Structure 1
Amino acid sequence: MKAIIPAAGQGTRLYPQTHTKPKGMVRLAGKPILGHILQNIAETNVEEVVVVVGGTMKDQIIEYSRSAFSERFAFDFVEQENAKGLGHSIYQAESVARGDELLIALGDMLFENKFNAFLDAHDELPESDGSIGVKEVSEPNHYGVVEMNEDNAVSRLVEKPDDPPSNFAISGVYIIENSNALFDALGNLVNNDIRGAGNEFQLTDALQMMVEQGCNLRTFEVEDWYDCGRPETLLEANRVLLERTKTDGDEQLRGSVIIPPIDAGENITVKGSVIGPYVSIDNGATIEQSIVANSIVGQNAVLQGVNISESIVGSNTDVHGEANNLNVGDNSSIYF
């Protein structure tokens, strides 16, 4: 089995953080979003990973993946030169993934479940050409939606419908047995310029085409997931991941009040401050005479005399004086 991670998106909803880094390299709870995804996949039997990259900052994705996970995975990096949708992104992997069983994991989604649980759930289903992780939601028109027949086989899929046929939203994890049929469908969309929601080539539309051509797709249930492409859900994912860790209270945190859970990087300085709960501090950061809660503090950032919560502070940023709620990009200076 191969995994495909589409990680070429520009991440406009995370501006200003993604002005200087790809969305997958935004850090929370000790590692980049991509790192959490790869770590989760590393617990499965997947040995090969295809990462779809794009844009001027794609080298950050490539360098991080190789440096952090080259001993675990064999990597292929394929480029999506123009952002034309998720289906178009997956289609770029055809040359290295056609014919393989695939685990498709979106590059900005973190899950309560482990990928091992998804693979086990797939294996327990009747024989199929693939399966899709779904969750019942209250506003399905914001998502790709799945309609199922009486034996729970997928009968219809539609992306962000005005009148949803069900409340079952596609969660962003797919297990494809028949990748030949998938790439045939994606090729049909792209080569015939058949665009869907957002004027993009949608993976949902390719899966619907598979169903229309007689492929048997099924579903498995996914618990909560976190779309890390938005600041509020990025902070929520940070909280959930930190709940699973323990603070060691090492020397660099002494002399301040620490309210776990937090994640503290290397070579940080914390003096006369109250830190936590749910704070992720990247390497080299300095926090003095401050109160920081429910926040992500970037590499080499400096916070002095601030009181912040529900905030994202980028790398190499200086923030001095009173504050409350911030979303500050890299290499910024703010004085109150």
Structure 2
Amino acid sequence: MKALILSGGKGTRLRPLTYTGAKQLVPVANKPILWYGIEALVKAKITDIGIIISPETGAEIQEKTGDGSNFGANITYILQDSPDGLAHAVKIAQPFLGNSPFVMYLGDNLIADDLSEYLDEFILKNLDALILLRKVSNPSAFGVATVNEKGEVLALVEKPQNPPSNLALVGIYFFSPEIHNSIEILKPSARGELEITDAIQNLLENKKLVSARELKNWWLDTGKKDDLLEANRIILDTNLTSENLGIIQGSTQIIGRVKIGKKTKIINSTIRGPVIIGDNCYLENCFIGPYSSIADNAKLTDTDLEHSVILESAQVLGIQQRIVDSVIGQRAKINLVLKRPKALSFMIGDDSHIELT
């Protein structure tokens, strides 16, 4: 069994962050989103992994993720020159996949369920495809499945204007090599892409074994700011354990589950968990509220922060108003020139510099 993680795409919904970096490397609880998918596959004992990358962000993904040895995996990188659809990604990966069954995993997705249960069903029933589904409130934004009471897939449609159901395709699919035959005869959709939903529909029309399972727990597509913050909240809520490897000085209070990295110095501040703070950070006269993640080498002074994600080497200085629901990019700098008595919310890309005057 092999795996194919899709980590290309331009991440337009997460701009400005993704003007300068890959959306799959944006951190959730100080860990790149992509790495959660790799860890989920390795946990299910799938260790031969291909990662689809783009010309724009592929080098960064390779540099940060490596050859897979840190995860107990073997990673092969596959370049997709242009984002021509999910089925196109499978098509260019065929030399890597060979005749092996495989899991296709969209690299900006997070799920709570263990993949092993679905993998076992896929193998036991000798399926040609097993798709994972989740009820959503806006099915027209996704691929949508119609399923009977036995879990058999009746039809699929990509981003329909009038959805036949509210069951969206989660970005995780199990395929036999039969999917390659379906992809080979595909024509581009109205969007100009080779759609994986069309390939699965072709399997159905040729009486191949296609089944569906609805996820038991949460699923998040982290393609937008609010989804990213929600993913950060859920991971901190469910996975974080307390650890303090830093230096605590003055009247600092640590309340609840808080993880503090090496050589981080916290002075005269209150940290109310769940909160994760990376290595080599400096915080002074701050209140850091629940569901906040602060990456390595960040500096915060005179700042009140809650439900936010601060990326590596960012600086937030002298912001005496409350910052909420914000994502601050790598090396970005925000400092206050004139006090304004109101809460602030930001979505700031890498290397930005903002002064509030």
Q: Using structure 1 for the length normalisation, give the TM-score.
A: 0.93
Query: Partner amino acid for 1:311?
Result: S
| Cα shift readout 1:158-217 (whole Å, capped 9, x = no counterpart) | 1111222222211111111x22x211211221xxxx122533211111111111112110
> Of 158, 176, 180, which residue of structure 2 is paired with 1:183?
180
Runs of 5+ in structure 2 lacking a partner? 248-264
Question: Does 2:236 correspond to 1:239?
Answer: no
Following TM superposition, where does structure 1 have runs of at least 4 consecutive aligned residues deviating by more than 6 angstroms? none
> Of 243, 250, 253, which residue of structure 2 is paired with 1:248?
243
Identify the residue that residue 257 of structure 1 maps to in structure 2. Answer: 270
CA distance 1:36–1:150, shift in 2 (3 Å): closer
Distance 1:115 1:332 in 2: 39
SS of 1:235's equivalent?
Answer: helix
| Residue pair 1:6, 1:107 contacting (<8 A) in 2 also | yes
Range with bigger deviation, 68-77 or 47-56: 68-77
| Cα shift readout 1:61-86 (whole Å, capped 9, x = no counterpart) | 11222166456111111111011122
Identify the residue that residue 98 of structure 1 maps to in structure 2. Answer: 98
| Residue pair 1:147, 1:157 contacting (<8 A) in 2 also | yes
Range with bigger deviation, 130-139 or 5-14: 130-139
CA distance 1:156–1:98, shift in 2 (3 Å): farther
Q: Give the deviation of 1:152 after TM superposition.
A: 2.3
Query: Partner amino acid for 1:324?
Result: L
Range with bigger deviation, 251-260 or 273-282: 251-260
| Residue pair 2:37, 2:110 contacting (<8 A) in 1 also | yes
Question: Does 2:323 correspond to 1:334?
Answer: no
Query: Partner amino acid for 1:170?
Result: L
Distance 2:148 2:353 in 1: 56
Identify the residue that residue 317 of structure 1 maps to in structure 2. Answer: 332
Q: Give the deviation of 1:28 after TM superposition.
A: 1.9
CA distance 1:232–1:150, shift in 2 (3 Å): closer
Query: Partner amino acid for 2:288?
Result: I
Question: Does 2:148 correspond to 1:155?
Answer: no
CA distance 1:67–1:151, shift in 2 (3 Å): closer
Superposition pairs of residues 111-126 of structure 1, within 5 angstroms = 111-120=111-120, 122=122, 126=125
SS of 1:36's equivalent?
Answer: helix
Identify the residue that residue 29 of structure 1 maps to in structure 2. Answer: 29
Superposition pairs of residues 1-336 of structure 1, within 5 angstroms = 1-66=1-66, 69-70=69-70, 72-120=72-120, 122=122, 126-176=125-175, 178-179=176-177, 181-189=178-186, 194-196=187-189, 198-222=191-215, 223-243=217-237, 244-249=239-244, 250-251=246-247, 252-306=265-319, 307-321=322-336, 324-336=344-356
**Percent identity between the two aligned chains:** 29
SS of 2:307's equivalent?
Answer: strand
Count of residue pairs brought into register by the alignment: 329
Query: Partner amino acid for 1:302?
Result: Q
Query: Partner amino acid for 2:134?
Result: K
SS of 2:8's equivalent?
Answer: coil
Distance 1:257 1:67 in 2: 40
CA distance 1:71–1:142, shift in 2 (3 Å): closer
Q: Give the deviation of 1:237 after TM superposition.
A: 0.3
Q: Cα RMSD over matched residues? A: 1.8
Runs of 5+ in structure 1 lacking a partner? none
Range with bigger deviation, 308-317 or 253-262: 253-262
Distance 2:110 2:190 in 1: 23
CA distance 1:299–1:138, shift in 2 (3 Å): closer
| Residue pair 1:10, 1:55 contacting (<8 A) in 2 also | no
Distance 1:65 1:118 in 2: 26
Q: Give the deviation of 1:53 after TM superposition.
A: 0.4
SS of 2:197's equivalent?
Answer: helix
Distance 2:297 2:354 in 1: 19
Distance 2:6 2:317 in 1: 38
| Residue pair 2:30, 2:293 contacting (<8 A) in 1 also | yes
CA distance 1:303–1:68, shift in 2 (3 Å): farther
SS of 1:166's equivalent?
Answer: coil
SS of 2:99's equivalent?
Answer: coil
SS of 1:253's equivalent?
Answer: strand
Range with bigger deviation, 109-118 or 41-50: 109-118
Query: Partner amino acid for 2:295?
Result: D
Distance 1:20 1:68 in 2: 24
SS of 1:3's equivalent?
Answer: strand
SS of 1:55's equivalent?
Answer: coil
| Residue pair 2:4, 2:105 contacting (<8 A) in 1 also | yes
